[in-house]
Amino acid sequence: MKTLTLPTLRQHLAAGSCALLVLAVGCAAESPSDADERDLEPSEPDGPAPDVDDSAQEARSPFPWWWPRRRDAGTPSTPQVPTRDAGAPSKPDVPARDAGLPSDAGTASDAALPSEPAPSEPALPEPGACKDTCAKAGGVDWLCKLRFMYGINYAWSNFGSDFGGNTKWNQPGVSKNPKVETELATLAQNGVDVVRWWVFPDFRGDGVQFDARDEVVGLGGTAVADLTRALELAEKNDLYLMLTLWSFDNFRPTKEADGIRARGIRPHVLDAAKRKALMEKVVRPLARAAGKSPYAKRLIAWDVINEPEWAISGPSLYGGDPQFDANPELEAISHQQMETFLADTIKVLREETRALVSVGSAAIKWKSAWSKLDTDFHQFHIYDWVQKYWPYDKTPREYGLDDRPVVMGEFPTGGLTGIPYATLVNRWFDGGYGGALSWSFTDHKGGLGDVKTFATRHPCETKY
């Protein structure tokens, strides 16, 4: 009986292949919304990248050896830059979304990590259990299934408060918000398989605690309990979560409003010591809690940051992409500084979980911006302003994006102007894209008919 080495297994995974599983052979496996929740005024209360050493991963991971490993980061092919940037808008108008974090007196009762040992490894599947019967070319591989990653952006119940809560605005986190359970059930009933969900898009909530000097203290509020509950609800509803850790919104200046202090993230990105504190006191404990969850497989991916391009000024480092033109409301940094911040975040996420990793880019306009990071799939967003210059109907290969899957992580659930939802998704499905997640349940509650229709037409290829 032949035994496959880990590098060989990863090669099979990168090729999208699934080997027959026996005991010794494994499967190698925005435009920003105008939603009120993002604005300064609080909404009404809802209720009361370096590689990771495989041996180190093996020792800490709750997953058995036969679970899929991350794709080995390779050298991306040289992208072909579109020639239609002349006159293109550099960005959409981004609405103000100022808010902040409760004062330092806020509770951090849930900040501690779970003390229980990691869950025991599940039993090996029976022979043949890992055979993929409907692999989708160009799809994203997870749990030995190559699928068209299909779903929707939740993207929050309470902006900036779902993971940690916001006591001063009486906004509960997931673990104390019964509305979330109802809404996730609704998504599952309408053909959604993957839910993109924002974690800390800014620091208004209790999830990240700071001291009087605006230094990071650690996780606070109900952050860990909320993450635990989110994964539990995903398991209950047979959903998978793509958790968006940061957003360009984090780069608003620090200010005080409505009884809370809104800390901007820029000082914690640029200063090496502050950045390390953010990684070790916030990112690592959050990721470790996810990795130790008995439902860790429900975390399909980390979306490291939403549309970072709006918080960057100056030239791009790679591929001849257009220059970045930061939103003037944000405290911008350089491309190099953003890349360093994201690489540090990805390193920690890799060390603590087996989830895939991506970056939620604002548009294919900057298609090379994150190509050197250790990600598993490209993610781009498309709205009417993008469609004018980087149209939806070009294939990934035509855009020079053939080194990893391409997921359209945001587009209007109601379709682009003159282009219905079904036309968009069918084109991407047939054109070799890796997935599509529309924007958003928060904005389009009750408008999931088209989402369900497509899933019904492709019940296997859209379901992990």
Prior bond to 155 cis, omega within 30?
Answer: yes
DSSP letters for 184-198: HHHHHHTT--EEEEE
pTM of the model: 0.77
Looking at residue 327, what is its pLDDT?
98
User: Would residue 163 count as lying in a domain?
Assistant: yes
The predicted-structure confidence for 331-373, as pLDDT tens digits, reads as follows: 999 999 999 999 999 999 999 999 999 999 999 999 999 999 9
Looking at residue 315, what is its pLDDT?
96
Phi, psi of 123 (to 5 degrees): -65, 150
Contact 363, 384 (CB under 8 A): no
Evaluate if residue 170 carries a pLDDT over 80.
yes
Q: What is the DSSP letter of 282?
A: I
Residue 379 or residue 125, greater confidence? 379
Mean pLDDT confidence for 123-135: 68
Which segment of 70-84, 253-267, 315-329 scores lowest on mean pLDDT?
Answer: 70-84
Mean pLDDT confidence for 279-297: 98
Contact 79, 186 (CB under 8 A): no
How far apart, in whole angstroms, are the C-alpha atoms of residue 277 and residue 58?
A: 26
Mean pLDDT, rounded, of the chain: 81
Looking at residue 444, what is its pLDDT?
83
Evaluate if residue 278 carries a pLDDT over 70.
yes
Evaluate if residue 108 carries a pLDDT over 90.
no
User: Would residue 259 count as lying in a domain?
Assistant: yes
Would you say the C-alpha torsion 243, 249, 251, 257 has a positive or negative sign?
Answer: negative
Q: What is the DSSP letter of 155?
A: -
User: Would residue 87 count as lying in a domain?
Assistant: no
User: Would residue 261 count as lying in a domain?
Assistant: yes
Q: State the residue range of the domain holding 56.
A: 6-74+93-120+131-457
Q: By 3-state DSSP, what share of the chain in percent is helix, strand and coil, each rounded to 5?
A: 30, 15, 55
Residue 128: pLDDT band with limits 50, 70, 90: low
Evaluate if residue 300 carries a pLDDT over 70.
yes
Residue 105: pLDDT band with limits 50, 70, 90: very low
Looking at residue 15, what is its pLDDT?
41
Q: What percent of the chain has pLDDT over 90?
A: 69
Evaluate if residue 289 carries a pLDDT over 50.
yes
Mean pLDDT confidence for 203-211: 97
The predicted-structure confidence for 58-95, as pLDDT tens digits, reads as follows: 333 333 322 333 333 333 333 333 333 333 333 334 33
User: Would residue 80 count as lying in a domain?
Assistant: no
Evaluate if residue 25 carries a pLDDT over 80.
no
Contacts of 165 (CB under 8 A, 6+ apart): 171, 172, 173, 176, 205, 206, 207, 221, 222, 226
User: Would residue 364 count as lying in a domain?
Assistant: yes
Evaluate if residue 406 carries a pLDDT over 60.
yes
- 355: its two tokens: 């989830």
For 157, counting Cβ atoms within 10 Å of its Cβ (0-12 exposed, 13-18 middle, 19+ buried), the class is buried
- 115: its two tokens: 């003390």
User: Would residue 202 count as lying in a domain?
Assistant: yes
Phi, psi of 427 (to 5 degrees): -65, -45
Nearest C-alpha neighbor of 153 from the set 440, 434, 442 = 440
The predicted-structure confidence for 134-148, as pLDDT tens digits, reads as follows: 999 999 999 999 999
CATH of the domain at 160: 3.20.20.80
User: Would residue 43 count as lying in a domain?
Assistant: yes
- Using alpha carbons, list the distances in angstroms from residue 119 to 123, 226, 235, 291, 453: 12, 19, 15, 10, 37
Q: How many domains does the chain have?
A: 1
Looking at residue 126, what is its pLDDT?
53
- Using alpha carbons, list the distances in angstroms from residue 307 to 149, 246, 247, 363: 19, 9, 6, 8
